[in-house]
Amino acid sequence: MRRIRIHLAYDGTAFHGWQVQPGLATIQGALEEILSGIEGAPVRVAGSGRTDAGVHALQQVAAFSIENPIPAANLRRAVNRLLPPTIRVLSAEEVHPDFHPRFQAKAKTYEYRICRGEVCNPFEWPFVHHYPYPLDQERMSRLARAFEGQHDFTAFAASDDRDAEGRSKVRTVFSSVLDTPPARLVYRIRGSGFLKHMVRNIVGTLIEAGKGNIADVTVLPAASGPTAPAKGLFLVSVEYE
């Protein structure tokens, strides 16, 4: 049995997230259907994390086990021929049989993009949150830094089917930065791991700070702001030793 690791990018607009859901189009579901056809037997694909419906990825990491002897490069080409054009396998390689993309990940980076112009280019629309209203970007930047370090992010997480397991919601954020290029805000966060809707809830909180609705912008608020739309969020990278 061979263990294959792939890096892939996808436009999440038309998908109900990463995880397989009966009767719904998902990234994991599309990959498993194609790989099972190539293998002639069911293939389970594990991802580094479960991106939500409408969230995009520049470089998601996944892995699966197959017996088919097809070279990894040929497998990548075969899978890409069968995938919809909104999902692309960027690379494929054989790795140690014990490799798991989620359990062995050391850090992940997400990016959230906000269009600030009065008019949003229609070719950008599917990939940004259009917010042309006044914001105090300095206040937002100060609050962004407050998320760095180790914190309990329960207040910034949506309910999850794993909550019954009683897992800790403490996470370490290595960097949390808001960049302000012309007519755009780009929030980038790198951390040990992320909870459901965590990044989108942080962005919603930053927007509330920019609107002046959060008094102290140097410490984490007790509650998050509204969840920012999924379409502005990208999984940028996953890091391993």
Instruction: Please say whether the beta carbons of 101 and 237 come within 8 A.
Output: no
Enclosing H/E stretch for 88? strand 87-95
Average pLDDT over residues 43-68: 97
Q: Which two tokens stand for residue 48?
A: 């580094």
Question: What backbone phi and psi angles, to 5 degrees, belong to 141?
Answer: -65, -40
Q: pLDDT tens for residues 165-183?
A: 668 899 999 999 999 888 9
Q: Spelled out in words, what is the top-level CATH class assigned to the domain 107-239?
A: alpha beta
Measured between alpha carbons, how far is 90 from 2 in angstroms, rounded to an integer?
A: 19
Measured between alpha carbons, how far is 135 from 195 in angstroms, rounded to an integer?
A: 26
Give the predicted TM-score (pTM) of the model.
0.94
pLDDT score, position 162 = 67
CATH 3.30.70.660 domain extents, the chain: 107-239
Measured between alpha carbons, how far is 238 from 105 in angstroms, rounded to an integer?
A: 7
Instruction: Please say whether the beta carbons of 140 and 178 come within 8 A.
Output: yes
Helix (H, G, I), strand (E, B) or coil at 117: coil
Question: What backbone phi and psi angles, to 5 degrees, belong to 44?
Answer: -100, 125
Helix (H, G, I), strand (E, B) or coil at 170: strand
Top pLDDT among 38 and 164 is at: 38
Is 52 among the catalytic positions?
yes
pLDDT score, position 184 = 94
Q: pLDDT tens for residues 94-110?
A: 999 999 999 999 999 99
In the predicted structure, residue 164 carries a pLDDT above the cut 80: no
Measured between alpha carbons, how far is 42 from 13 in angstroms, rounded to an integer?
A: 27
CATH 3.30.70.580 domain extents, the chain: 2-95
pLDDT score, position 135 = 96
For 2-95, CATH gives: 3.30.70.580
Q: pLDDT tens for residues 100-140?
A: 999 999 999 999 999 999 999 999 999 999 999 999 999 99
As beta bridge partners, residue 234 has: 56, 111
Measured between alpha carbons, how far is 189 from 111 in angstroms, rounded to an integer?
A: 6
Enclosing H/E stretch for 177? strand 170-179
Instruction: Please say whether the beta carbons of 43 and 36 come within 8 A.
Output: yes
In the predicted structure, residue 60 carries a pLDDT above the cut 90: yes
Comparing CA positions, the residue from 62, 181, 201 lying closest to residue 189 is 201
From 11, 52, 152, 163, the catalytic residue: 52
Measured between alpha carbons, how far is 95 from 4 in angstroms, rounded to an integer?
A: 6
